[in-house]
Amino acid sequence: MLEQCDRCPRADPLIAEFSRFLSARTGLHFPPERRADLERGLAAAARELGFTDTESCIRSLLASAFARPQLETLASHLTVGETYFFRERRSFECLEAHVLPALIRSRRAGERRLRIWSAGCATGEEPYSIAMALARAIPDLRDWNVSILATDINSRALRQASLGSYGDWSFRDTPAGIRETYFVKTKDGRYQITERIRSMVTYGYLNLAEDAYPSVEGGTNAMDIVFCRNVLMYFEAAHGRRALEKLGRSLVSGGWLFVNPVEISHMAVPQLSTVNLPGAIVYRKGIRLPAAPDGWQAPADHGVANEPPEMAPQGRQEIPIAQETEREEPKIATQTPYQRAAALYALGRYPEAAE
């Protein structure tokens, strides 16, 4: 039995091999200090998969390159599902005070469409918080085509999320009034999210370590905003970088990525720039401008910092998208191609700037 194998010389290489295998399939990283978590989760998964001991479960999984049902069982025992409504509140304050108003303003005149993805949504508190933020920010929400996709590798968490029933612990740092406005207390003492908010979110299984995204069929393309918070911190670095790069490709040009900055500060992704909003750092998909001619100065206030997170200047109060509609048309005919691209970029007209 592997559980008794602290003194067993066969256990460590087998666990180490399984850990590498797991990382390749799920991105999940179990460094030595989390070995006990891995062994505990494996023991529980082995019991659920019908094995009498963990070692034969591992050997069988390694031999069969496990299929999705087995992967789902492992995920339910080996992932960390910690979450609550409006977690890291400053992210939501930035979303509501800066990112959404600017996006809404720029879309209101044309196609009233918003696409948002919560990648690694656990039991749903994050995507429902986004839905509540949208309900607060868009009074005429019914006239908008808003989609919130929420995905996770843990199918059990997804099932729970789609039920929309929560205990007190999920509200441990929730702003005043949220529970009263968007939930109904049920006889069992839990809180049921209102149908209006519940129906705004679509749940689906997605393993961020796979290459299934971005994809038009899977609905993971052309996102305006992606939340992937407290997920990549559990990934092995190379897998985290790959996932981040794919999430970047899932965004529209000018789209926003919310992560927990500590989890990706060591993973610079060329297509993403850091933007310092009051109280939070958010990432934004920019465009690559051609190399600037000697002596050329970038527009001072385009607001997108290209430094890695630790280098980005702190305390910037404005974000560029809010200025999109207020700026003057650049005098394009008299400009060099580079100046024209930079001027269009400063206006937030990214696709044209990229041409």
Ligand X SMILES: C[S@@+](CC[C@H](N)C(=O)[O-])C[C@H]1O[C@@H](n2cnc3c(N)ncnc32)[C@H](O)[C@@H]1O
Minimal distance in Å, beta carbon 81 to ligand X? 5
Q: Is residue 153 within the footprint of ligand X (CB under 6 A)?
A: yes
Q: Is residue 231 within the footprint of ligand X (CB under 6 A)?
A: yes
* Binding-residue total with ligand X (CB under 6 A): 26
Residue (218 or 299) nearer to ligand X, CB: 218
Minimal distance in Å, beta carbon 79 to ligand X? 3
Minimal distance in Å, beta carbon 26 to ligand X? 4
Among 207, 220, 273, 274, binds ligand X (CB under 6 A): 207
Which position has the token pair 């295998």?
A: 21
- 177/182 Cα distance (integer angstroms): 9
Residue (255 or 286) nearer to ligand X, CB: 255
Q: Is residue 179 within the footprint of ligand X (CB under 6 A)?
A: no
Q: Is residue 27 within the footprint of ligand X (CB under 6 A)?
A: yes
Minimal distance in Å, beta carbon 227 to ligand X? 7
Among 3, 49, 81, 165, binds ligand X (CB under 6 A): 81
Piece of the chain touching ligand X by CB under 6 A; list 13-21, 147-155, 163-171, 325-333: 147-155
Q: Is residue 201 within the footprint of ligand X (CB under 6 A)?
A: no
Among 74, 122, 134, 282, binds ligand X (CB under 6 A): 122
Distances (CA, A) of 156 to 84, 151, 163, 191: 17, 12, 11, 19
* Cβ 350 vs Cβ 255: under 8 Å: no
Q: Is residue 220 within the footprint of ligand X (CB under 6 A)?
A: no
Q: Is residue 79 within the footprint of ligand X (CB under 6 A)?
A: yes
Minimal distance in Å, beta carbon 137 to ligand X? 20
Contacts of 346 (CB under 8 A, 6+ apart): 299, 301, 302, 320, 327, 330
Structure-token pair, residue 5: 């194998």
Q: Is residue 170 within the footprint of ligand X (CB under 6 A)?
A: no
Among 126, 224, 236, 263, binds ligand X (CB under 6 A): 126
With vertex at residue 212, the alpha carbon angle to CA 211 and CA 214, rounded to the nearest 5 degrees, is: 95
- 273/144 Cα distance (integer angstroms): 28
Please give the residue ranges that form the binding site for ligand X (CB under 6 A).
26-28, 75, 79-83, 87, 120-122, 126, 152-154, 157, 206-209, 229-231, 234
